[in-house]
Structure 1
Amino acid sequence: MKIEILKQAVMDSRDGITISDNFIDDNPLIFVNPAFERMTGYSFEEITNINCRYLQKNDQEQPELEIIRSAVKKGEYCLVTLRNYRKDGTMFWNELSISPIHDENGIVTNFLGIQKDVTPRMLIQQQLRDEHQSLEEMKVHFEQLSIKDGLTGIYNRRFFDTQFEIQCKIACRNSDSLTLAMIDVDNFKSYNDIYGHQAGDEALIRVADSLNKSFQRASDFAARYGGEEFVILSSGMTKDQSARHVETLCQLVRDLRIPHSASRTGYLTISVGFSVHTFGPLHPCNVLLARADKALYIAKERGRNQCFNL
Structure 2
Amino acid sequence: MKIEILKQAVMDSRDGITISDNCIDDNPLVFVNPAFERMTGYSFEEITNINCRYLQGGDRKQHELEIVHNAIKKGEYCLVTLRNYRKDGTMFWNELSISPIYDENGAVTNFIGIQKDVTPRMIIQQQLRDEHQSLEEMKIHFEQLAIKDGLTGIYNRRFFDTQLEIQCKIACRNGDSLTLAMIDVDHFKSYNDIYGHQAGDEALIRVADSLNKSFQRGSDFAARYGGEEFVILSNGMAKDQAALYVNSLCQGVRNLRIPHTASSTGYLTISIGFSVHTFGPLHPSNVLLVQADKALYLAKERGRDQSFSL
Shorter-chain TM-score tier: 0.5 to 0.7
Aligned to 1:254: 254
Change (3 A) 1:127 1:234: closer
Aligned to 2:106: none
1:125 counterpart = 2:131: no
User: What CA distance in whole angstroms lies between the structure 2 residues aligned with 1:210 and 1:254?
Assistant: 10
Aligned AA (1:219): S
Aligned to 2:289: 289
Aligned to 2:85: none
Alignment deviations for residues 189-240 of structure 1 (CA, whole Å, 9 cap, x no partner): 0000000000000000000000000012111000000000000000000001
User: Equivalences for 1:189-204 in 2 at 5 Å?
Assistant: 189-204=189-204
Task: Measure how far apart 1:162 and its partner are.
Answer: 0.3
Aligned to 2:232: 232
User: What CA distance in whole angstroms lies between the structure 1 residues aligned with 2:298 and 2:133?
Assistant: 45
Task: Measure how far apart 1:125 and its partner are.
Answer: 1.6
Task: Could you tell me which runs of 5 or more consecutive residues in structure 2 were left unpaired when the two chains were aligned.
Answer: 1-130
User: What CA distance in whole angstroms lies between the structure 2 residues aligned with 1:228 and 1:184?
Assistant: 6
Aligned to 1:280: 280
User: What CA distance in whole angstroms lies between the structure 2 residues aligned with 1:124 and 1:169?
Assistant: 36
- Aligned sequence identity (%): 83
- How well do the aligned residues superpose, as a CA RMSD in angstroms? 2.0
User: What CA distance in whole angstroms lies between the structure 2 residues aligned with 1:307 and 1:151?
Assistant: 25
Aligned AA (2:182): M
Task: Measure how far apart 1:142 and its partner are.
Answer: 2.0
Task: Could you tell me which runs of 5 or more consecutive residues in structure 1 were left unpaired when the two chains were aligned.
Answer: 1-121, 129-137
Task: Measure how far apart 1:288 and its partner are.
Answer: 1.1
Aligned AA (1:307): S
SS in structure 1 at match of 2:147: coil
User: What CA distance in whole angstroms lies between the structure 1 residues aligned with 2:299 and 2:132?
Assistant: 43
1:306 counterpart = 2:299: no
Change (3 A) 1:145 1:210: closer
SS in structure 1 at match of 2:233: strand
User: What CA distance in whole angstroms lies between the structure 2 residues aligned with 1:270 and 1:144?
Assistant: 27
Report the count of equivalent residues: 179
User: What CA distance in whole angstroms lies between the structure 2 residues aligned with 1:145 and 1:291?
Assistant: 30
User: What CA distance in whole angstroms lies between the structure 1 residues aligned with 2:205 and 2:166?
Assistant: 27
User: What CA distance in whole angstroms lies between the structure 2 residues aligned with 1:252 and 1:296?
Assistant: 18
User: Equivalences for 1:86-165 in 2 at 5 Å?
Assistant: 125-126=134-135, 142=142, 146-165=146-165
Aligned to 2:64: none
Alignment deviations for residues 52-81 of structure 1 (CA, whole Å, 9 cap, x no partner): xxxxxxxxxxxxxxxxxxxxxxxxxxxxxx
TM-score with structure 1 setting the length: 0.55
User: What CA distance in whole angstroms lies between the structure 2 residues aligned with 1:143 and 1:262?
Assistant: 39
Change (3 A) 1:192 1:126: same
Task: Measure how far apart 1:302 and its partner are.
Answer: 1.0
Aligned AA (1:154): I
Task: Report which of the two structures shows the higher radius of gyration computed on alpha carbons.
Answer: 2
SS in structure 2 at match of 1:256: coil
Aligned to 2:213: 213
User: What CA distance in whole angstroms lies between the structure 1 residues aligned with 2:184 and 2:177?
Assistant: 23
Change (3 A) 1:123 1:234: farther
Task: Measure how far apart 1:144 and its partner are.
Answer: 8.6
Change (3 A) 1:236 1:197: same
Aligned AA (2:149): D
Aligned AA (2:303): G
SS in structure 1 at match of 2:255: helix
Change (3 A) 1:127 1:217: closer
User: What CA distance in whole angstroms lies between the structure 1 residues aligned with 2:133 and 2:270?
Assistant: 37
Alignment deviations for residues 141-191 of structure 1 (CA, whole Å, 9 cap, x no partner): 927962110000000000000000000000000000000000000000000
Aligned AA (1:184): D
Structure 1 moving runs of 4+ over 4 Å? none
User: What CA distance in whole angstroms lies between the structure 1 residues aligned with 2:308 and 2:144?
Assistant: 36
